Amino acid sequence: MPVFEAKVESSPVGEGRRVFELFLYLGMAAIIVLIILNAKRDSLDKILQRGELVVITRNGPTTYYEGLDGKTGLEYDLAEQFAEYLGVDLRIIVSENLSDMIPMLNGDQADFIAAGLAVTEARKALVRFTPAYQEITQQLIYYRKGKKRPRAIDDIIGGKLEVVASSSFDERLRELHNEHPELSWKTSDGSDVEKLLQQIVSGKIDYTIVDSNEFELHRRFYPGLNVAFDISEPQQLAWAFRTDQTDNTLYQRAADFFAEIRENGTLTALLERHYGYAREFKPVETTLFLAHAQERLPPYQYMFIDAAEKNGFDWRLLAAVSYQESHWVTNAVSPTGVRGIMMITEKTAGQLGVLNRLDARESISAGARYLKRLHGRIPDDIEEPDRTWMTLAAYNVGFGHLEDARKITESQGGDPDKWQDVRKYLPLLSEKKWHRKTKHGYARGWEPVVYVRNIRSYYDILVWMDERENQQNSQSPRPDPKTIAPQTL
Ligand code: GLU
């Protein structure tokens, strides 16, 4: 007879304990096997299993911010596309300081850093960079008013130079210090480029260093600031991964992702989307805009707020449209008979029941309702923010012409649902060769392109002004970079 059975007969209590012990051992063995398997699982597998990609970034116009249409920014958009490419969700961790990012990554708090980091020699020892997605230069920034433009390092010796701590700028200055031992500067942790630019304007410091891509966006808010000279050779921006050479899987997928989006034009389109409209905006336009925002906007602000709320818009968008239309002049009249602060045509005024186009409140209310109507007519497939840009283009050139341009876009292999593509073909409406074949004929097709571009920048500036004012009112000692980051339509 088997021993087991004999024991069963002899002691039922002991048998129960044995079975329990057996399960306990089996359970423990299973846990150990799972732990070993998990430890062996590579970085990509872990993410797929978790269903989530965790990315460190920073708040700012070139990286990540809250826009009209939710979260956006070049780094955010790239990371989101990469998460989609892997088939997982994206979780963002915002780091306040550059100095915290690499320790956070190496402390296993995230999968990589996507924060507009420059590939530098010092960093290469600590992290592994993907192929670059953008090339920039570091630029020395100074305040133009009454100052001679510095042209070389020797011209800034003795001036107050301050840069963000742990930045590529600090690293560059250390290199320069070897050739220019008299060069001195301060670094500030917990500070960002935006704050340092403000300090130049307020006279607290003389110079700072900013990446060219960031200055391209920031210069619209500070028309007095200018580039003195490039202080570095071209540098690459890239994502940073842990230097774990034994496990290449996640890194390799990121490298493949960048190769793919470079190849299929997605990267160029994203760069254009985030920088294109700001590139052509002239500093003089900002100067005038800021002056007008102080002198002319206040009496109408509550009307914009009211009309925007009723029609589901951001009031700053409505105000930006109005500025582009009339420079906030209520009795503006164009040679074609378009009138008022929102420049409504007689026909539209009739349709919208406007009695007096020169009455600011009536004009703003009609403009908002008209925009809403156009927004509703844009085909459903067109997603935000492109939908808003097309609405603005239709407001300017007419819905029919916009449709014609979308057809041309499609016939030329472009995407008629993407503003980036449509705006390339809109100017063709002024050429006979093209408008001959369209339903609505000739239009000054380049106008809506400039129109939308300007409104986007006016909007960015209004958001920036508005948020800054809110901060001053709440007397927060240190502005949260998230809320002062300009927003994109
Ligand atoms: N590109 C800079 C760096 O790599 C960061 C830019 C910034 O902090 O604004 O350090």
Domain at 184, CATH number = 3.40.190.10
Say whether pLDDT at 355 is over 60: yes
Say whether pLDDT at 364 is over 70: yes
pLDDT of residue 488: 33
pLDDT of residue 284: 74
Say whether pLDDT at 201 is over 50: yes
pLDDT of residue 38: 52
Over range 154-172, report the average pLDDT: 96
Mean pLDDT across the chain? 87
Say whether pLDDT at 477 is over 60: no
Split at pLDDT 50, 70, 90, the class of 286 is: confident
Beta bridge partners of 112: 55
pLDDT digits (tens, 9 = 90+) for 105-136: 999 899 999 999 999 999 999 999 999 999 99
pLDDT of residue 217: 86
- Check whether residue 319 and residue 463 sit in a common domain: yes
Q: Under DSSP, is residue 225 helix (H, G, I), strand (E, B) or coil?
A: strand
Per DSSP bridges, beta strands 134-136 and 235-237 are: antiparallel
Q: Which of 439, 350, 361, 433 is nearest to 399 (CA)?
A: 439
State if residue 193 touches ligand 1 by the CB under 6 angstroms criterion.
yes
- Check whether residue 319 and residue 457 sit in a common domain: yes
Number of other residues whose CB lies within 10 A of the CB of residue 39: 7
Q: Is residue 416 part of a domain?
A: yes
pLDDT of residue 191: 77
- Check whether residue 463 and residue 369 sit in a common domain: yes
* Whether the Cβ atoms of residue 326 and residue 367 lie closer than 8 Å to each other: no
- Check whether residue 177 and residue 317 sit in a common domain: no
pLDDT of residue 476: 47
d(CA 299, CA 305): 12
Q: Is residue 39 part of a domain?
A: no
Alpha helices in 180-297 (DSSP H): 193-201, 212-218, 249-263, 266-271, 277-279, 283-295
pLDDT of residue 36: 54
pLDDT of residue 470: 81
Choose the final residue of a domain: 278, 311, 342: 278
Say whether pLDDT at 487 is over 60: no
Tell the residue number behind the tokens 């340092």, with chain if given.
196
What stretch of H or E contains 439?
A: none
Say whether pLDDT at 475 is over 70: no
Q: Which of 162, 166, 163 is nearest to 115 (CA)?
A: 166
Domain that holds residue 464: 284-483
Examine the residue annotation and report whether 75 is marked as an active-site residue of this protein.
no
- Check whether residue 151 and residue 128 sit in a common domain: no
Residue 382 token pair: 């067109």
Say whether pLDDT at 474 is over 90: no
Q: Of 16-20, 174-178, 455-459, which range is least confident? A: 16-20
State if residue 170 touches ligand 1 by the CB under 6 angstroms criterion.
no
d(CA 337, CA 346): 7
Q: Is residue 224 part of a domain?
A: yes
Per DSSP bridges, beta strands 162-164 and 89-94 are: unpaired
pLDDT digits (tens, 9 = 90+) for 219-269: 888 888 999 999 999 999 999 999 875 688 999 999 999 999 999 989 998
pLDDT of residue 404: 94
State if residue 326 touches ligand 1 by the CB under 6 angstroms criterion.
no
Choose the final residue of a domain: 216, 233, 250: 233
pLDDT digits (tens, 9 = 90+) for 395-428: 988 899 999 999 999 999 999 999 999 999 998 9
Choose the final residue of a domain: 278, 305, 333: 278
CA angle 317, 479, 206 (to 5 degrees): 100
Over range 283-306, report the average pLDDT: 91
Residue 9 token pair: 């007969």
Q: Residue 44's Cα: distance from chain center in Å?
A: 27
Say whether pLDDT at 1 is over 50: no
Q: Which of 153, 113, 299, 140 is nearest to 212 (CA)?
A: 140
- Check whether residue 441 and residue 296 sit in a common domain: yes
Residue 434 token pair: 């093209």
pLDDT of residue 353: 87
Name every residue whose Cβ is closer than 8 Å to that of residue 224 and which is 6 or more positions away in sequence: 143, 144, 145, 201
Q: Which residue among 98, 119, 135 has the greatest number of ligand 1 atoms within 8 angstroms of its CB, and so is best to mutate?
A: 98
Question: How many structural domains are present in the chain?
Answer: 3
Q: Which residue among 214, 219, 484 has the greatest number of ligand 1 atoms within 8 angstroms of its CB, and so is best to mutate?
A: 214
CA of 190 to the centre of ligand 1 (A): 13
pLDDT of residue 246: 66
- Check whether residue 321 and residue 380 sit in a common domain: yes
- Check whether residue 351 and residue 436 sit in a common domain: yes
Split at pLDDT 50, 70, 90, the class of 334 is: confident
Q: Is residue 76 part of a domain?
A: yes
CA of 121 to the centre of ligand 1 (A): 14
Say whether pLDDT at 67 is over 90: no
Say whether pLDDT at 193 is over 80: yes
Q: Is residue 15 part of a domain?
A: no
State if residue 43 touches ligand 1 by the CB under 6 angstroms criterion.
no
State if residue 167 touches ligand 1 by the CB under 6 angstroms criterion.
yes
Q: Which of 425, 346, 432, 416 is nearest to 383 (CA)?
A: 416
DSSP 156-190: GTTS-BEEETTSHHHHHHHHHHHH-TT---EEETT
Split at pLDDT 50, 70, 90, the class of 354 is: confident
- Check whether residue 247 and residue 114 sit in a common domain: yes
Q: Which of 396, 219, 256 is nearest to 325 (CA)?
A: 396
- Check whether residue 303 and residue 450 sit in a common domain: yes
Name every residue whose Cβ is closer than 8 Å to that of residue 48 and which is 6 or more positions away in sequence: 86, 87, 88
pTM above 0.85, yes or no: no
Residue 345 token pair: 């045509």
> Which residue is closest in CA terms to ligand 1's atom 10?
167
Split at pLDDT 50, 70, 90, the class of 339 is: confident
Number of other residues whose CB lies within 10 A of the CB of residue 64: 27
Closest atom, ligand 1, to C-alpha of 116:
1
Q: Is residue 12 part of a domain?
A: no
Query: Sign (positive/negative) of CA torsion 78, 74, 170, 94?
Result: negative
Q: Which residue among 94, 105, 168, 192 has the greatest number of ligand 1 atoms within 8 angstroms of its CB, and so is best to mutate?
A: 168
Q: Is residue 4 part of a domain?
A: no
CATH of the domain at 357: 1.10.530.10
d(CA 465, CA 316): 10
- Check whether residue 121 and residue 182 sit in a common domain: no
Q: DSSP assignment, residue 382?
A: P
State if residue 211 touches ligand 1 by the CB under 6 angstroms criterion.
yes
Split at pLDDT 50, 70, 90, the class of 336 is: low
Q: Is residue 14 part of a domain?
A: no
- Check whether residue 229 and residue 241 sit in a common domain: no
State if residue 114 touches ligand 1 by the CB under 6 angstroms criterion.
no
d(CA 369, CA 313): 10
Identify the active-site residue in 75, 216, 325, 403. 325
d(CA 288, CA 291): 5
pLDDT of residue 2: 44
Number of other residues whose CB lies within 10 A of the CB of residue 45: 15
> Which of 472 and 395 is assigned the larger pLDDT?
395
Beta bridge partners of 138: 211
pLDDT of residue 245: 59
Split at pLDDT 50, 70, 90, the class of 84 is: very high
Q: Of 218-232, 346-360, 437-451, 467-481, which range is least confident? A: 467-481
Tell the residue number behind the tokens 């073909």, with chain if given.
425
